[in-house]
């Protein structure tokens, strides 16, 4: 069972994630779906987060992080993504394997060890999936982007991010040569040209791949 502190972190992390790649704030029902919890449980926790000064929420409205909530969320996201990067670079994990491991380790590593990991890795700015690793002050950098499903035919760009939500999809994309940092040309929402090859993408890939704008 998660500690109360870990549960708070997981809520804040989910709220943070929701607005990283789009601007619409998360609703309580969306948060319940994201966390796999009953809406009543989420409502109760959101009320506690409001009382703690970590989120803002009015009845029937969306949820947003306060400045303190954003600081705490960015800190736990930083831990998670540094750990993912560490596991891939130092221990040979593949990008579809690291999420669950990082979920456990992010609550166990000390700040001192995390700083050593960051230093050893050369202070990376992005994790293996292309998500920005927040700096120690909570700030992030990100290039302008477009999701594949919204990109026009003929759009040329670098693959900035691939969602880590579906490990099976990550494995399929890896086999096709779709990985962060590679240049691509949009043929349509279901296929990309990578170098001289045109690859047909798996179902759901159009919603999971982001390109530079």
How many domains would you assign to the chain? 2
Residue 104 placed within a domain: no
The model's pTM is 0.89
**In terms of residue numbers, what domain contains 163?**
145-212
Which contiguous run of DSSP H or E holds residue 76? helix 67-91
pLDDT at 203 over 90: no
Pick the more confident residue, 134 or 143: 134
DSSP summary character for residue 16: H
Residue 166 placed within a domain: yes
Residue 38 placed within a domain: yes
Residue 88 placed within a domain: no
Last residue of a domain, one of 45, 65, 85: 65
pLDDT in the model for residue 2: 46
Give me the percent of the chain exceeding a pLDDT of 70: 98
Query: What band does 189 get if pLDDT is binned at 50, 70 and 90?
Result: confident
Last residue of a domain, one of 44, 65, 86: 65
Nearest-angstrom CA–CA distance, 32 and 105: 24
Residue 126 placed within a domain: no
Arithmetic mean of pLDDT, 22-26: 91
Average of per-residue pLDDT values in the chain? 93
Last residue of a domain, one of 28, 43, 65: 65
Residue 161 placed within a domain: yes
pLDDT in the model for residue 4: 65
Q: The domain that contains 22 carries what CATH number?
A: 1.10.10.10
Residue 30 placed within a domain: yes
Residue 153 placed within a domain: yes
């Amino acid at each position: 069972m998660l500690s109360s502190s870990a549960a708070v972190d997981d809520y804040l992390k989910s709220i943070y994630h929701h607005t990283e790649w789009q601007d619409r704030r998360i609703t309580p029902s969306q948060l319940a779906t994201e966390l796999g919890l009953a809406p009543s449980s989420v409502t109760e926790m959101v009320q506690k987060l409001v009382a703690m000064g970590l989120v803002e929420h009015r009845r029937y409205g969306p949820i947003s992080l306060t400045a303190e909530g954003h600081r705490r969320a960015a800190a736990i996201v930083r831990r998670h993504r540094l750990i993912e990067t560490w596991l891939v670079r130092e221990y040979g994990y593949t990008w579809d394997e690291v999420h669950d491991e990082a979920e456990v380790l992010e609550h166990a590593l000390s700040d001192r060890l995390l700083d050593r990991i960051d230093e050893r890795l050369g202070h990376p700015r992005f994790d293996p999936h292309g998500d920005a690793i927040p700096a120690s002050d909570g700030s992030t950098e990100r290039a302008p982007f477009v999701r594949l499903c919204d990109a026009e035919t003929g759009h040329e760009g670098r693959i900035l991010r691939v969602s880590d939500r579906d490990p099976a999809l990550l494995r399929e994309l890896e086999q096709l040569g779709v990985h962060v940092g590679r240049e691509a040309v949009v043929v349509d929402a279901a296929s990309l040209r990578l170098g001289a090859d045109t690859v047909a993408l798996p179902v759901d890939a159009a919603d999971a791949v982001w390109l530079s704008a």
